[in-house]
């Protein structure tokens, strides 16, 4: 069975529920890393997630009917796409799925020149996240100390540096 990537529909209750459960599972390690289990991805409500589905672009990777990865983004009035909550099920990590989703959201939001720049952020101790983002052309542009345990690193890249459209489209 292959993994397919598609956009989650705003009214897809099943996808919303699966994304929220996956997000909760995936952010446990981040919460442990920083000693803070009150982070927004662990406290987000289903209604809040549905609002994100309706107001932005949400891509999911499915293995059969199971959502095994997801990413969200929206483009603001300046043409900056803010990418967030890239999550991959622990059993699917280290196989390139996170990078494929990142490339897919960049292509989707870059179509027609909608996004001129991409930004995302992660915690300073989240080395695997930082490594993935750097591998995909993101460079640190700022840091913000939240508290003694967490410094948020913002990374960005121009849309001209985003993943080019594939020569052919196929399920992976």
Q: Quote the pLDDT of residue 170.
A: 42
13-26 and 46-55 are packed helices; what angle lies between their axes, rounded to 10 degrees?
110
Residue located via tokens 């489209």 = 169
Three-class secondary structure of residue 157 per DSSP:
strand
Token pair belonging to 95: 């196989």
Token pair belonging to 155: 């990374």
Q: What are the structural domains of the chain?
A: 3-161 (3.40.630.30)
Would you tell me how many other CB atoms lie within 10 Å of the CB of residue 39? 14
The mean pLDDT of the chain is 91
pLDDT in tens, 86-138: 999 999 998 999 999 999 999 999 987 889 999 999 999 999 999 999 999 99
Three-class secondary structure of residue 56 per DSSP:
coil
> The pTM is what?
0.90
pLDDT of 172 > 80? The answer is: no
Residue located via tokens 């446990």 = 28
What is the rounded distance in angstroms from the CA atom of residue 156 to the CA atom of residue 61? 23
Averaged pLDDT, 31-60 = 93
Three-class secondary structure of residue 162 per DSSP:
coil
Residue with the larger pLDDT of the pair 92 and 170: 92
69 HSE (CA, 13 A, CB side): 23
Cα 114 to Cα 75, 99, 125, 153: the distances in Å are 7, 21, 32, 24
Three-class secondary structure of residue 2 per DSSP:
coil
Residue 87 main-chain phi, psi, to 5 deg: -130, 140
What is the rounded distance in angstroms from the CA atom of residue 38 to the CA atom of residue 43? 6
Q: Quote the pLDDT of residue 113.
A: 80
- Strands, E, within 19-148: which ranges? 57-63, 66-75, 80-88, 117-123, 139-145
């Amino acid at each position: 069975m292959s993994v397919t990537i598609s956009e989650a529909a705003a009214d897809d209750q099943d996808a919303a529920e699966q994304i929220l459960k996956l997000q909760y599972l995936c952010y446990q390690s981040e919460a442990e890393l920083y000693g803070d289990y009150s982070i927004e991805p662990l406290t987000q409500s289903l209604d809040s997630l549905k609002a994100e589905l309706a107001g932005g672009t949400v891509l999911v990777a499915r293995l059969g009917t199971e959502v095994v990865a997801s990413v969200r983004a929206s483009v603001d009035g300046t043409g900056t796409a803010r990418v967030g909550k890239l999550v991959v099920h622990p059993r699917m990590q280290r196989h390139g799925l996170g990078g494929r989703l990142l490339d897919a959201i960049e292509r989707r939001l870059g179509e027609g020149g909608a996004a001129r720049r991409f930004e995302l952020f992660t915690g300073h101790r989240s080395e695997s996240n930082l490594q993935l983002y750097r591998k995909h052309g993101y460079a640190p542009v700022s840091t913000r100390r939240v508290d003694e345990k967490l410094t948020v690193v913002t990374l960005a890249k121009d849309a001209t540096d985003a993943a080019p459209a594939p020569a052919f489209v196929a399920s992976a």
